[in-house]
């Protein structure tokens, strides 16, 4: 069962965010500093801290195990533990981190994001599915399709080389699955509602649903304070 950790960044005070900034690896700090808005910086720092918590406290790794490299597509992986896979996502109040013994992709998004209709970038059957919805449900349909597609692209780890109209997923009112255009026939799609009208999707080879876990604020800060010079350098 793929485990997805989620954390509400609104639970972090300004002092907490400054603390995460101080202990973050240089690349994570630089990435956070490039954001203009404080909320975006906080999400970036919280995502890195959530991953560190997952790797150290849930998977029993040590700080020395957290060194990463990137493959030919730019996807980060653990150099010393390459068989432990992870994926990060954040939107609005929430950051999400998925871990699995197989490749995994995770995406989270709020329904409000569907107010901008990008379904023309989807496969024709998906675009038709979104367009057929009543006006007050169109944004929700779009976001549910979008998060499923994003989780699959993240699972593949090939970034923008996989066009969003090159494959389609089944309408999520039934169990979601990939209908056509699969570059890998093994993955399974899962999707659950989360929080205040957010949708969380995960793609992995595991076929047992999503285990969603929410660490406490204390958990997140404690893991970030664990000793060790090596910390993850991730997107």
DSSP letters, 105-126, are: EEEEEEGGGGGS--GGGS-HHH
Question: Does some domain include residue 50?
Answer: yes
For the entire predicted model, the pTM comes to: 0.87
Question: Does some domain include residue 150?
Answer: yes
Cβ atoms of 32 and 45 within 8 Å: the answer is: yes
pLDDT tens for residues 119-136?
888 989 899 999 999 988
Could you give phi then psi for residue 3, rounded to 5 degrees?
-100, 130
pLDDT more than 90, % of the chain? 40
Q: Which residue has the higher pLDDT, 105 or 211?
A: 105
Q: Based on the domain organization, do 135 and 164 belong to the same domain?
A: yes
| Residues spanned by the domain of 162 | 111-187
pLDDT tens for residues 76-89?
888 899 889 999 99
Helical residues (DSSP H) of the chain, grouped into ranges: 14-23, 26-33, 38-53, 124-131, 138-156, 217-224
Distance CA 144, CA 130 (A): 10
Lowest mean per-residue pLDDT among 38-47, 121-130, 179-188: 179-188
Bridge partners for 4 per DSSP = 98, 212
Q: Based on the domain organization, do 133 and 61 belong to the same domain?
A: no
Cα–Cα distances in angstroms (integers) from residue 208 to residues 26, 157, 211, in the given order: 37, 22, 9
Question: Does some domain include residue 59?
Answer: yes
Q: Based on the domain organization, do 97 and 211 belong to the same domain?
A: yes
pLDDT surpasses 90 at 57: no
Question: Does some domain include residue 4?
Answer: yes
> Tell me, what's the pLDDT at 174?
64
Q: Based on the domain organization, do 59 and 171 belong to the same domain?
A: no
Distance CA 51, CA 60 (A): 13
Q: What is the CA radius of gyration of the chain?
A: 18
Whichever domain contains 3, its CATH number is 3.90.470.20
> Tell me, what's the pLDDT at 171?
65
pLDDT surpasses 70 at 185: no
| Residue in 216, 199, 233, 217 with CA at minimum distance from that of residue 27 | 233
Phi-psi region of 19 (alpha: psi -120 to 50; beta: other; left: phi over 0): alpha
Distance CA 82, CA 35 (A): 30
Cβ atoms of 67 and 78 within 8 Å: the answer is: yes
Q: Tell me how far apart the terminal alpha carbons of the chain are, to the nearest angstrom.
A: 24
Q: Based on the domain organization, do 88 and 148 belong to the same domain?
A: no
Question: Does some domain include residue 194?
Answer: no
Q: Based on the domain organization, do 17 and 91 belong to the same domain?
A: yes
pLDDT surpasses 50 at 232: no
Total domains, the chain:
2
Q: Which residue has the higher pLDDT, 176 or 217?
A: 217
pLDDT surpasses 90 at 15: yes
pLDDT surpasses 90 at 176: no
């Amino acid at each position: 069962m793929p485990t997805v950790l989620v954390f509400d960044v609104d639970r972090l005070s300004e002092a907490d965010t400054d603390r995460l900034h101080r202990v973050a690896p240089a690349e994570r700090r630089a990435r956070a500093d490039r954001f203009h808005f404080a909320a975006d910086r906080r999400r970036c720092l919280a995502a890195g801290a959530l991953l560190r918590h997952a790797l150290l406290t849930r998977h029993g790794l040590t700080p020395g195990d957290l060194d990463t490299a990137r493959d030919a597509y730019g996807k980060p992986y653990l150099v010393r533990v390459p068989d432990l896979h992870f994926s990060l996502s954040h939107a609005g109040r929430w950051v999400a981190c998925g871990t699995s013994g197989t490749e995994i992709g995770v995406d989270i998004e709020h329904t409000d994001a569907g107010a901008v209709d990008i379904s023309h970038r989807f496969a024709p059957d998906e675009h038709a599915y979104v367009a057929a919805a009543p006006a007050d449900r169109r944004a929700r349909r779009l976001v549910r399709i979008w998060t499923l597609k994003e989780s699959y692209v993240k699972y593949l780890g090939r970034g923008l080389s996989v066009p969003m109209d090159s494959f389609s997923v089944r309408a999520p009112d039934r169990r979601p699955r990939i209908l056509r255009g699969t570059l890998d026939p093994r993955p399974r799609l899962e999707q659950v509602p989360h929080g205040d009208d957010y949708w969380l999707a995960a793609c992995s080879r595991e076929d047992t649903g999503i285990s969603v876990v929410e660490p406490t604020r204390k958990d997140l800060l404690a893991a970030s304070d664990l000793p060790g010079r090596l910390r993850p350098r991730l997107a």
